[in-house]
């Protein structure tokens, strides 16, 4: 089996753990990284014990961590962590590998994502790590609100909305709404193509950067169709009154040029980006850390969704 760097997907020598390029993805001064000194089970336990003291929650167990660059290791903390670590889930297979790959696919077609990767753990499992994008400098926190907060919803009602209402939040709050609606179109279409059926209100956020209110970098992108096969819905939040059996006309005429008011030329350029990204996507899937059957299923899903949109696959 080929040894690859879980931070960069580069091919490694048999005894190597990370590539230098992979380490620099985490921090420009990082020269080495120790194995994360917890098993997946221990990380899940720590996530449960620390949940009430942490600002980050959600379905997947997660812990907050600091990267000690000079010591070359991650350390688990209750607060002040600049990274979030997600271990293997006890019920769903390969969620860290799935999320890391899906985030890479998003970046490959021009969607902004935070620094992220996979790290090796004490029990030889892989955990997903992502840098918090709402932190700046030593102690500065950027203003950030998710769409559940902005819509008067909470964790229990985060599915009680629609993509049309998500667009309304963008129109009401963003400094340059048209630019952000293009980002929204590309992000929602990406989630459809890559089988992310769980983009609820808490998975969209607005952030204030450089005195602008804009969509935050994308996060929690996951091929849930792969993780939880058999799900009937294709969208967590309905579009044009439906959550499945969406057609090209729903995404283009109704959503992009209709509700979002995007110029047709801009929409066509966005579609071309997806088509041009496809060869690179397939290479990333092949180099990823998913099992062989999951790689085949992921690529098959993308091909089916691209065909439904009348895009080359």
Q: Of 86, 102, 136, which one is at a domain's C-terminal end?
A: 136
Considering Cα of 102, then 104, then 107, then 113, what sign does the dihedral take?
positive
Q: Of 94, 121, 136, which one is at a domain's C-terminal end?
A: 136
Do 206 and 234 reside in the same domain of the chain?
A: yes
Active-site residues: which are they?
Answer: 198
* Mean pLDDT, the chain, whole residue set: 94
What one-character DSSP code corresponds to residue 121? B
Q: Output the pLDDT for position 16.
A: 94
Q: Output the pLDDT for position 54.
A: 54
- Per-residue confidence at 313, pLDDT binned at 50, 70, 90? low
Stretch 7-35: mean pLDDT, rounded? 96
Do 50 and 109 reside in the same domain of the chain?
A: yes
Q: What is the CATH number of the domain that holds 245?
A: 1.10.1070.20
Q: Output the pLDDT for position 57.
A: 54
How far is it, in rounded angstroms, from Cα 125 to Cα 87?
A: 8
Residue 61 domain flag: yes
pLDDT digits (tens, 9 = 90+) for 33-48: 999 999 999 999 999 8
Q: Are 260 and 223 in contact (CB under 8 A)?
A: no
Tokens of 10: 């580069």
Residue 62 domain flag: yes
Q: Output the pLDDT for position 43.
A: 96
Q: Output the pLDDT for position 107.
A: 98
Q: Which domain holds residue 115?
A: 20-136
Q: Of 74, 107, 136, which one is at a domain's C-terminal end?
A: 136
Selected residue with higher pLDDT from 214 and 231: 214
Q: Output the pLDDT for position 124.
A: 96
Q: Output the pLDDT for position 138.
A: 73
- Per-residue confidence at 128, pLDDT binned at 50, 70, 90? very high
Q: Output the pLDDT for position 53.
A: 60
Phi, psi at 84, each rounded to 5°: -115, 135
Do 149 and 122 reside in the same domain of the chain?
A: no
Tokens of 130: 């992502």
How far is it, in rounded angstroms, from Cα 280 to Cα 248?
A: 23
Do 172 and 189 reside in the same domain of the chain?
A: yes
pLDDT digits (tens, 9 = 90+) for 162-176: 999 999 999 999 999
Domain count, the chain: 2
Taking alpha carbons only, the member of 85, 86, 81, 94 closest to residue 226 is 94
């Amino acid at each position: 089996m080929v040894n690859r760097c879980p931070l960069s997907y580069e091919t490694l020598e048999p005894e190597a753990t990370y590539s230098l390029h992979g380490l620099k993805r985490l921090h420009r001064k990082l020269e080495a990284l120790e194995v994360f000194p917890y098993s997946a089970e221990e990380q899940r336990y720590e996530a449960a014990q620390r949940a009430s003291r942490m600002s980050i929650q959600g379905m997947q167990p997660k812990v907050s961590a600091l990267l000690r660059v000079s010591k070359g290791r991650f350390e688990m903390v209750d607060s002040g962590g600049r990274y979030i670590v997600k271990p293997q889930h006890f019920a769903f297979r390969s969620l860290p590998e799935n999320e890391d790959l899906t985030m890479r696919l998003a970046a490959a077609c021009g969607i902004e994502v935070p620094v992220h990767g996979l790290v090796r753990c004490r029990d030889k499992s892989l955990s997903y790590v992502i840098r918090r994008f709402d932190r700046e400098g030593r102690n500065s926190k950027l203003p950030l609100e998710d769409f559940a907060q902005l819509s008067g919803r909470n964790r229990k009602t985060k599915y009680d909305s629609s993509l049309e209402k998500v667009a309304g939040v963008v129109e009401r709050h963003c400094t340059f709404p048209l630019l952000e609606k293009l980002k929204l179109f590309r992000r929602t279409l990406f989630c459809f193509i890559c089988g992310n059926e769980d983009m609820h209100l808490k998975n969209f956020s607005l952030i204030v950067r450089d005195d602008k209110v804009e969509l935050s970098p994308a996060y929690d992108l996951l091929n849930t169709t792969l993780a939880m096969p058999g799900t009937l819905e294709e969208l967590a939040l309905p579009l044009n009154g439906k959550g499945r059996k969406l057609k090209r006309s729903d995404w283009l005429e109704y959503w992009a040029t209709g509700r979002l008011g995007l110029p047709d030329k801009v929409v066509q350029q966005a579609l071309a980006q997806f088509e041009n990204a496809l060869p690179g996507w397939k290479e990333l899937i092949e180099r990823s850390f998913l099992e062989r059957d999951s790689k085949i299923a992921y690529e098959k899903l993308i091909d089916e969704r691209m065909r439904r949109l009348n895009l080359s696959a």
